[in-house]
Chain A
Amino acid sequence: MNIDCYCVLGIDREYDLTAVALLNAMDLAGVNRAVIAPVDRYLAVDNKVGNDFIAQQARAFPKRFIASCCANPWYGKVAIQEFQRAVKNGARMLVMHPFLQGYLANDEIIWPLLEVASLEQVPVYFHTGQPGNSTPWQLVDLAERFPELDLIMGHSGTTDFWFDVVDAAKASPNIYLESSLARPFSFPERVQILGKQRVIMGSYAPINQLIFEWEQMRLALSPDALEPILGENLRRLLEKRGAL
């Protein structure tokens, strides 16, 4: 099963992806399912509005879309409650964006939220690559603090932290590299060092064109790495709470 780890659904100042357009692109690219995430506005504020929209879209296309959710840790207990509510509504992945949400990735402000995510067996996707706020080694700090939690390194530290990625992932077995924004040719070597179980395909549509990104990744990977990276690794994490 091919699963795209990160597609942003909705129309807002920097996004314009509808469900129909996403499904069309998935069909053309041979992608069975996609994890859908809310637009930036809802990652930062109004988390509930974003989560409800994503849950509704996932319910409308239950065989194709998998809901993620967001909760800005600055909301404290309210963020935890919102995360738990979203999970009850079907969310299978928590999205954190330290730069947009305003904290350092390993700041103690997010620990309570991650504790709950760990208990709920929900993987956490971190947007990474923004200097200061969200770097691979900050993710390692979290991974060591929460060894039972699966952390997905969104964008694999792209752009300026691509040198850090392999050592960071080697340091923490519960970190997975997500491919969007990174250049596909960088992955064969990473797979060779880390193993094919540690890389996850994501397109970050519509920031990137889904079809193009999938084509590029398929060209870059060896045949034996396609199945795990293009879907099975992510499925394994998402199904810790039960079959999709």
Chain B
Amino acid sequence: MIVDAHTHIGLEIEGFDQQGLNIYGVMDTSGGEYFRNYTQLGIDACFTFASQAFYLDSVAHAENEALAKLNQRYPARIYAWGTVSLAWNVQRLRSEIRYAIQDLKLYGLKFVPICQGISLTNPGFDIVAQEAIDLGVPITTHDGSPEYCSAIQVAYYARKYPRLRVLSAHGGLRELWPDLIEAVRSLPNLYICLSGPTQWGIQSLYDALGPEKLLFGSDGGCGPAAITTAYLRRIERLRAPAAHKDMILGENALRFITN
């Protein structure tokens, strides 16, 4: 069972007309194409995130709804997460989070502070944490990007809210993965998605932490399939027993999402 714990999809969003190519230089994929591509790659399920809402808060509500439809269409294969804008006022923030989780049945909340233009230390993220804890869902956030969401900022956010399950979405990217080693070791609620570190970084994280809190992820879905195959191959090349690779490739993600 392989679960890609970090994918994006460019769905048709009501009231929004995407013109031309996305940031990866390709046309957005429909739900069907996205699903077919992942099936061809041998991936059984995905954590599926938005794409436009991180740039345009005005489409977040509609994109969450589009993701919910995808969830319904591919149950147990797509684990769609919603998002909200931290620029919204507290009342709207709380209400959209509750709508996304309770009404739309999305599995968690995803953030890209570097695109959303708001630091993880913004008070809006306190609201997010309170609501997510109350609703019993995890959050995942882009990491590795100073100044809004470096790996250690994610770690301190997780430390501030020990009852919030936090998935650091890129493992600190190419440079900042070392910041996560001690943090993940000491914080039971902090997990790492491996879509970002170098081969050396992935191996070092595994050697230091073992397999339990590491999740395979690619950040693919909106771009070429090579994004995904590259990270699959990085896990293949990891010096680890097959049972540990199975955990990283899918078992950990399933346990994380169904907790």
Contacts and interface: CB of A to CB of B under 8 A. Distances in A.
B1 interface: no
A159 B196 contact: yes
B198 A216 contact: no
B226 interface: yes
A183 interface: yes
Interface stretch (B10-18, B38-46, B92-100, B140-148): B140-148
A212 interface: yes
A45 to B, nearest CB: 20
Given A160-B114, A185-B227, A216-B230, A206 B175 contact: no
Given A131-B146, A159-B144, A206 B200 contact: yes
A185 B224 contact: yes
A207 B200 contact: yes
B233 interface: yes
B88 to A, nearest CB: 25
Given A159-B173, A185-B224, A189-B25, A131 B147 contact: yes
A129 interface: yes
Contact of B175 (A129, A208, A209, A220): A129
B225 to A, nearest CB: 9
Contact of A183 (B175, B230, B237): B230
B199 A160 contact: no
A181 interface: yes
Contacts of B224: 185
Interface residues of A, number: 23
Interface string B189-222: 0000000101111000000000000000000000
Interface string B163-204: 000000000011100000000000000000000101111000
B108 interface: no
Q: Identify which of A132, A159, A189, A212 gathers the most chain B CB atoms within 10 Å of its CB.
A: A159
Interface residues of B, number: 23
Contacts of B200: 14, 206-208
Contacts of B233: 212
Contact of A181 (B145, B198, B234): B198
Contacts of A160: 114, 144-146
B198 to A, nearest CB: 5
A158 B223 CA distance: 17
Interface string A152-195: 00010011100000000000000000000101110001000000
A130 interface: yes
Given A184-B226, A220-B226, A159 B25 contact: no
Nearest to B170: A159
| Chain A interface SS verdict (over half) | loop
Interface in A199-215: 204, 206-209, 212
A60 interface: no
Contacts of B144: 159-160
A183 B227 contact: yes
A204 B175 CA distance: 13
B51 to A, nearest CB: 16
Interface string A30-66: 0000000000000000000000000000000000000
Contacts of A189: 25
Given A160-B145, A208-B199, A212-B233, A129 B174 contact: yes
Contacts of B234: 212
Contact of B198 (A132, A185, A207): A207
Nearest to B224: A185
Contacts of A206: 200
Contact of A185 (B146, B147, B196, B223): B223
Interface string A1-32: 00000000000001000000000000000000
Interface in B49-82: none
Nearest to A182: B174
Contacts of B174: 129, 155, 158-159, 181
B199 A212 contact: yes
Given A160-B114, A207-B198, A208-B199, A185 B175 contact: no
B37 to A, nearest CB: 14
13 contacts: A158-B174, A159-B144, A159-B145, A159-B175, A160-B114, A160-B144, A184-B230, A185-B24, A185-B223, A206-B200, A207-B199, A209-B199, A212-B199
Given A130-B175, A189-B25, A208-B200, 4 more contacts: A183-B226, A208-B198, A209-B237, A219-B226
Q: Which 7 interchain pairs have the tightest Cβ spacing?
A: A159-B173, A207-B200, A185-B224, A185-B226, A207-B198, A131-B146, A209-B199
